[in-house]
Chains A and B, each alone.
Chain A
Amino acid sequence: MVTVDRAESAWRRWLPRAWSLALALLLLGPALGRGYVLSYDMVWVPDLALRGDFLGLASGLPRAVPSDAVVSVLDGLVPGAVLQKLVLLGCLVPGGIGAARLAPGDSLVGRLVAVSVYQWNPFVVERLLIGHWPVLLGYAVLPWVVVGARRWRTEASMPGALCLLVPLGSLSASAGVATAVVLLAFALARHRTRSNVTVLALVVAANAPWLVSGLLHASAASTDAAGADAFALNRDGALPGPVAALGLGGIWNTEVDLPSRDGVLAWLSLAFLLVLAIAGARAWIRRTGRRDAVAFGACWAVGYLLAVLTWLAPDLMGWLVVQVPGAGLFRDGARALVLCAPLLVSVVAQGAAEVWRRAPRAAVARTSLAAAIVVLPITLLPDAALGLSGRLRPATFPSAYQQAREVVSDQQRRDGDEAGDLLVLPLTSYRQPGWNHDHKVLDPMGRFLTPDYVASDRLVVSGVDLAGEDPRLVEVSRALAGSTPEARSRSLADLGIGVVVVEHDAPGDSPEVAGETLLDTTQLTVIRVAEPVPRTVPGGWIAGMTLAWVLYLAALLVGVVRISRAGLTARRRAGAKAMSG
């Protein structure tokens, strides 16, 4: 009997994990194949070289700090293509399994529904397609942060795992803010000053790289007010923005909406969530307790209100992003919906458990109904399957990219600190190369090569031109407006540019620049600019960023030490128990 109970217990424990993995494999499908998935802002290359800009010392705002630095360290251990697949799975599976922890523990159906809802929804699909993988990693970490932070508050002892999870959930600025909000909402406790200070210290350490870099750039960088309108919460197919947001949909870019969201399925999907949420609300409040219910509710309210504010008052948001440093973080309204996910999934899972409790007694009928509830999120968003119906497909970089990397790296080796930075032309942000299945992607050239680089950060949304944020780019544009190739080359050298790569298959103008041609192929030309003046980074910036990285690494180190200690203690206890038994 004991064996049967154990077997059943193991089965109940493993089924949500297996379901989560199965859903991730179904969702990603061909994206897990050989090559690199390059989609909008998702840019992965074979070997991302670590450089000063990735550490937060670039001239523009830290848009990919610390994610680029972390990837460039990790892909020294694992090939870039494999690392990307692991990260894509990591964006989904841990989130699903963690979501099951927010469901009623005694309801297998509730836990399976939590996995389905957390992994298979418009937020995940839209962010995958637009390539915001650090946001999705933060999303995957959130349920575990909820669980860990609750433990921290109730047991007055910091779980070591949080020291790894919070930095992992803070690989981008917006993900870091969301992770911090959830941690603070669940971990802060009254009359526990020491514990609260530690919570705040963890938040600061985990977010230090982008936070310090952002502060260092605050005076020089600017954000275009028009971006607030362009990136506001938007309709999700058939659903108006604020309605779509209830089901975690409503990204600004309609290009990444799936066709199934245009019809009745979008409404049915929302109805499914709302019916289960209503069915589970009362029992959820009883199970969760007042303190945690307030934390869940506060996170949901902050996320939903921020998202709807961008839809309701884009002009106000536009004013805020210009006037208030850091407010630009919130201009992508739907990104804030990540904060709504823990409450949504927890209440919906409770609703599924309540429906299951009232299900007919016959085993076949109960199984049939359970399967229906668990699978319904997939039924209502069917085109998310198999790499979002083929929209996420790996590509192989042309050989010219590798050739360019070799000549540029050789040049860097020869010239050392005098090599100068890289300029990528034409000065346009996005590419849509045939070798990437004609899918849009942020120009991967800068990341593929090894030096610090200057590339356009100007965005065009629905025909509206949004100014870039990098002041160095303004100077480079001015240099490129010079009257002769020689004059342009001299001006670029004065700005620290030592190499220019011209991509011939990219739309946009590329003014001729004088210099030694290092490589010339049908796809690209690499030109060496003579005598670049090395760009100087203020000493204060280097000191500030060093401190930020020390804090970030210290948080990780504390996590590793605490987890190792906890593991050792558990093994000793198990050993002592076995001896006494």
Chain B
Amino acid sequence: MGSILSTFGALVIGGIVASATVIGVVNAQTSPHGASPANVNQPIIQYGSTN
């Protein structure tokens, strides 16, 4: 009984991870992530932000 349950559990985990990976990757590609264009009137382009 224990081995059937653990086998079933392993299959479920594998299935969840596989589905989550595909969904996550596809979602990430379709989410907006474009950079805002630079403005030549702004005094400087920042190297980055710590906030």
A-side interface residues toward B, CB under 8 Å? 40, 130, 230, 232, 234, 252-256, 259-260, 359-362, 364-369, 371-372, 375-376, 378-379, 382-383, 385-386, 389-391, 428-434, 437-440, 459-463, 504-508
Residues of the A chain whose Cβ atoms lie less than 8 Å from the Cβ of B16: 372
Q: By the criterion CB–CB under 8 Å, are A438 and B13 in contact? A: no
Residues of the A chain whose Cβ atoms lie less than 8 Å from the Cβ of B41: 507
Q: By the criterion CB–CB under 8 Å, are A365 and B7 in contact? A: yes
Q: By the criterion CB–CB under 8 Å, are A507 and B25 in contact? A: no
Q: By the criterion CB–CB under 8 Å, are B40 and A506 in contact? A: yes
Known contacts A365-B6, A432-B38, A433-B38: A507-B28 contact under CB 8 Å: no
Q: By the criterion CB–CB under 8 Å, are A508 and B35 in contact? A: no
Question: Could you tell me which residues of chain B, from 9 to 24, have a CB within 8 Å of some CB in chain A?
Answer: 9-11, 13-18, 20-21, 24
Residues of the B chain whose Cβ atoms lie less than 8 Å from the Cβ of A365: 6-11
Q: By the criterion CB–CB under 8 Å, are B14 and A369 in contact? A: yes
Chain A nearest CB from B4 CB (Å) reads 9
Residues of the B chain whose Cβ atoms lie less than 8 Å from the Cβ of A507: 38-45
Q: By the criterion CB–CB under 8 Å, are A438 and B38 in contact? A: yes
Question: What are 11 A-B pairs at a CB distance below 8 A?
Answer: A253-B47, A259-B28, A259-B31, A360-B10, A364-B11, A368-B13, A368-B14, A389-B33, A434-B37, A440-B35, A507-B45
Q: By the criterion CB–CB under 8 Å, are B33 and A438 in contact? A: no
Residues of the A chain whose Cβ atoms lie less than 8 Å from the Cβ of B35: 391, 432, 437-440
Instruction: Report the nearest A residue to B33, measured CB to CB.
Output: A389
Instruction: Report the nearest B residue to A358, measured CB to CB.
Output: B6
Q: By the criterion CB–CB under 8 Å, are B17 and A371 in contact? A: yes
A-B pair count, CB < 8 Å, reads 151
Residues of the A chain whose Cβ atoms lie less than 8 Å from the Cβ of B33: 259, 383, 389-391
Q: By the criterion CB–CB under 8 Å, are B24 and A376 in contact? A: no
For the complex, give the distance between the alpha carbons of A440 and B33 in Å. 14
Instruction: Report the nearest B residue to A387, measured CB to CB.
Output: B29
| Interface bracket on B | 35 or more
Residues of the A chain whose Cβ atoms lie less than 8 Å from the Cβ of B45: 428-432, 440, 460, 507
Chain B nearest CB from A337 CB (Å) reads 17
Q: Of the candidates A360, A386, A438, which one forms a contact with B34 in the assembled complex, judged by CB atoms under 8 Å apart?
A: A438
Q: By the criterion CB–CB under 8 Å, are A382 and B47 in contact? A: no
For the complex, give the distance between the alpha carbons of A433 and B43 in Å. 15
For the complex, give the distance between the alpha carbons of A534 and B35 in Å. 41
For the complex, give the distance between the alpha carbons of A362 and B33 in Å. 43
Residues of the A chain whose Cβ atoms lie less than 8 Å from the Cβ of B46: 430, 460-463
Chain A nearest CB from B35 CB (Å) reads 4
Q: Of the candidates A254, A366, A378, A462, which one forms a contact with B10 in the assembled complex, judged by CB atoms under 8 Å apart?
A: A366
Q: Of the candidates A371, A385, A460, A505, which one forms a contact with B18 in the assembled complex, judged by CB atoms under 8 Å apart?
A: A371
For the complex, give the distance between the alpha carbons of A367 and B14 in Å. 8
Q: By the criterion CB–CB under 8 Å, are A438 and B21 in contact? A: no
Q: By the criterion CB–CB under 8 Å, are A389 and B31 in contact? A: yes
For the complex, give the distance between the alpha carbons of A372 and B18 in Å. 7
For the complex, give the distance between the alpha carbons of A464 and B18 in Å. 44
Q: By the criterion CB–CB under 8 Å, are A462 and B27 in contact? A: no
Instruction: Report the nearest B residue to A379, measured CB to CB.
Output: B21
Chain B nearest CB from A75 CB (Å) reads 26
Q: By the criterion CB–CB under 8 Å, are B28 and A382 in contact? A: yes
Chain B nearest CB from A460 CB (Å) reads 5
For the complex, give the distance between the alpha carbons of A259 and B27 in Å. 11
Known contacts A360-B3, A369-B13: A254-B49 contact under CB 8 Å: yes
For the complex, give the distance between the alpha carbons of A256 and B40 in Å. 23
Q: By the criterion CB–CB under 8 Å, are B50 and A252 in contact? A: yes
Q: Of the candidates A130, A254, A368, which one forms a contact with B51 in the assembled complex, judged by CB atoms under 8 Å apart?
A: A254
7 smallest CB-CB distances across A and B, nearest first, come from A368-B14, A382-B24, A253-B48, A432-B38, A383-B28, A365-B10, A365-B7
For the complex, give the distance between the alpha carbons of A438 and B45 in Å. 12
For the complex, give the distance between the alpha carbons of A361 and B4 in Å. 10
Chain A nearest CB from B50 CB (Å) reads 5
For the complex, give the distance between the alpha carbons of A428 and B46 in Å. 10
For the complex, give the distance between the alpha carbons of A28 and B46 in Å. 25
Q: Of the candidates A385, A389, A461, A508, which one forms a contact with B50 in the assembled complex, judged by CB atoms under 8 Å apart?
A: A461
Other A-B pairs, 6, CB within 8 Å; known A437-B34, A508-B44? A130-B48, A254-B49, A368-B15, A379-B17, A462-B48, A507-B45
Residues of the B chain whose Cβ atoms lie less than 8 Å from the Cβ of A253: 47-50
Residues of the A chain whose Cβ atoms lie less than 8 Å from the Cβ of B20: 379
Instruction: Report the nearest A residue to B45, measured CB to CB.
Output: A430
Q: By the criterion CB–CB under 8 Å, are A385 and B39 in contact? A: no
For the complex, give the distance between the alpha carbons of A559 and B46 in Å. 42
Residues of the B chain whose Cβ atoms lie less than 8 Å from the Cβ of A254: 48-51
Chain A CB within 10 Å, residue with most, of B6, B24, B25, B50? B50
